[in-house]
Amino acid sequence: MDASAARQCVLIINDVPMELRYLRRVLSPLYDVKLALSGEIGLELALDQTVDLILLDVVMSGMSGFDVLSRLKESAHTRNIPVIFITGSDSSDDEVKGLTLGAVDYIRKPFVETVINLRVGIHLQLINQMRIIEQFSLTDGLTGVNNRRSFDQQLSAEWLKATRSQSNLGMLLLDIDKFKQFNDKFGHLNGDTCLKTVAQVMKDSVIRRTDAVFRWGGEEFAILLPNTCTGGTVFVAERIRKNIASTPISCGDETAWITASFGAGSIFPEKSDNSESSIADFCNRVDQALYRAKANGRNRVEVIAD
């Protein structure tokens, strides 16, 4: 679904039930509203859910709003979520502190419904515009699938999710076999057609909304398969491999056929093993499996070594 068309999610963190109910009534006609009665619960929801905007009370028992915002900024998954502070104070020092920590705006008590709707609506509109711009920067211009920059970002995010939920994360790397020879024979324009065709086959071959296709670089592509064990990654790889091999490539008056080699792997990230080096090692192992597939005859799937 297009980002601008999706029902956006607003998380409200406030330890006063009456204020939570009021804000939910005001915002729920337009947005998916989630409620948290404490900073701790709010942090958990922000990490586990897809949240577009947070309304955060400054003064709460337990963690203050300032503490919660500081924690939000520590996590790559939550640091870019815009936060609007809710406050009953007129202190300019508090306002300066909140903006310095990274808040984007303030809503003051007593609440005014029109002001709430306008401030929330403006910031969510800005989010949509930023996402549209970002989408262009994360998309491969030739094939229309996600690019390498997008892969790096999403892999980090999915690794974190797998760590928190203690689930498997599957990954595929594929390389079009003898692509240089294809270009030499049919020309680079038809080579572009080949890349676009393979990308479309991959998109058509993944079923779940959570699975994502990326152009890794050149004639290499990648797929991330959240919550997928080794058997599942191999199953998806074999389906794509067969679909690529059976799809004709139109090259003017000629029809060409190509194959692809695959490296497949799945990992169960440990909570204590969340470093960039661990992610890089996993990618390297899948890449090595891909090279074994090419060395062992191409048009095949090889799995990472234990």
Residue 53 has pLDDT above 50, yes or no: yes
d(CA 168, CA 224): 11
At residue 228 the predicted structure's pLDDT band, cuts being 50, 70 and 90, is: very high
Residue 236 has pLDDT above 50, yes or no: yes
Please check whether residue 227 is in contact with residue 172, taking contact to mean a CB–CB distance below 8 angstroms. no
Which domains occur in the chain, in start order?
A: 9-137 (3.40.50.2300), 148-303 (3.30.70.270)
Angle at which helices 179-186 and 188-205 cross, to 10°: 130
Which of 118-127, 135-144, 175-184, 233-242 is predicted least confidently? 135-144
Per residue in 162-180, pLDDT (tens digit) is 988 889 999 999 999 999 9
At residue 48 the predicted structure's pLDDT band, cuts being 50, 70 and 90, is: confident
At residue 2 the predicted structure's pLDDT band, cuts being 50, 70 and 90, is: very low
Q: Which of 105, 128, 89, 116 is nearest to 24 (CA)?
A: 116
Instruction: Indicate the average pLDDT of the chain.
Output: 92
Angle subtended at Cα 222 by Cα 218 and Cα 224, rounded to the nearest 5 degrees: 160
d(CA 57, CA 16): 9
Per residue in 60-115, pLDDT (tens digit) is 998 999 999 999 999 878 999 999 999 998 888 888 999 999 999 999 999 999 99
Angle at which helices 230-245 and 188-205 cross, to 10°: 140
Six-digit token string for 66: 């300032």
Per residue in 285-300, pLDDT (tens digit) is 999 999 999 999 999 9
Question: What pLDDT does 258 receive?
Answer: 97
Respond yes or no: is residue 74 known to be catalytic: no
d(CA 55, CA 11): 6
In the set 219, 220, 276, 302, the catalytic residue is 219
What percentage of residues in the chain have a pLDDT greater than 70? 96
What does the pLDDT average to over 43-59?
94
At residue 6 the predicted structure's pLDDT band, cuts being 50, 70 and 90, is: low
